[in-house]
Amino acid sequence: MLQDKQAMRDFWDRRPCGSSTSSKPHGTKEFFDEIEAYRYQVEPCIKDFARFEDSKAKRVLEVGVGMGTDSIQFVRHGARFTGIDLSWQSLRFTQQRFRASNYVCPLFQADAEVLPFPANVFDVVYSWGVLLCVKNIRAAVAEVWRVLRPGGKAVVMLYHKNSLNYWISIMVIRRLAYWLLRSRVGLAIVDSLSRLDRTLRTKLERTGSLRGFTEELQRKGSLTDQELLNMSTDGPGLPYTSVYTRQEVQLLFSKFRIVKTNVCCLYEQNVPFCTFLPQIVKTWLAGRCGWFLVVEATK
């Protein structure tokens, strides 16, 4: 278990979440601004569920601060903010982001399964796409419940198993693409396609994903569904991630008094045919087959 957590920490220390979405010098205002713009362009539903504007004077805990992009929104809106992350490098970036805006907030290196806070202290516990990387997610959810005050709310985003991104993009398209990468001919084809698409090429070179995928596939030879999921979300080397159904989420959060689930974010760039659909159809699909399963749970 300790080795698993060390591997997870090492992964996010090497590539803090979102850091590859900016080409600006690390730590600069332009670097953080570009990351922020990209995040809310690709995942606009974050603001709908985080409700940053409602956090004034509330005690907010973010589990997994990443680059501090959501963290600073809470602070700007007057929250009494506290953040944790398993990754030291993520905490450093978040601290840099706060300092650049003259904010000072408590940040802790901590494990989501053992939160270093007393019970019944936070009004909001927010975690966007973090608990899905915790193997013992039941322990993490129990900790969220413990530190929330009665009437407090948890807002947690997990990956949705019954989504087009999971069943079409990951289980079909990406499996085929990774199979191609196992051969020299396939690798040459993918490399040629990426040369034709400058945006794709830039992304591949920035993240090292093409090289990383190839090395991982050559080492393993084949991929289990779990390994395919890990590689397809945050890239080669990610130790673990998971997907959930609405029913599984209801069981996970059963200790909470009220549990609401919402599905959003179609991730149409990963599902080819979605690009050509009318917007009304995309909206309908996003609410049923979207990639994000957002839990709003009241203690």
Q: How far is residue 266's CA from residue 273's CA, in Å, rounded to a whole number?
A: 12
At 151-181, the pLDDT tens digits run 999 999 999 999 999 999 889 888 877 777 6
17 or 194: which leads in pLDDT: 17
Q: Residue 270: its pLDDT value, please?
A: 80
CA 163 vs. chain centroid, Å, equals: 16
Q: Where are the domains of the chain?
A: 2-162+245-298, 166-234
Residues paired with 293 in a beta bridge: 158, 263
Residue 53: HSE in the Cβ half-sphere, 13 Å Cα cutoff? 2
Question: Do 206 and 20 meet the contact criterion of CB atoms below 8 Å apart?
Answer: yes
pLDDT above 70 (res 206): no
Q: Residue 23: its pLDDT value, please?
A: 87
- Which H/E stretch holds residue 262? strand 258-264
The token duo for 217 is 């596939």
At 217-269, the pLDDT tens digits run 666 667 788 988 998 888 778 999 999 999 999 999 999 999 999 999 998 87
The token duo for 220 is 């393993």
At 50-84, the pLDDT tens digits run 999 999 999 999 999 999 999 999 999 999 999 99
Q: Which residue has the tokens 């990426």?
A: 194
- This prediction's pTM: 0.89
Q: What CA–CA distances, in Å, run from 151 to 51, 74, 120, 131, 249?
A: 17, 19, 10, 21, 19
Q: Residue 192: its pLDDT value, please?
A: 62
Residues paired with 134 in a beta bridge: none
CATH of domain 2-162+245-298: 3.40.50.150
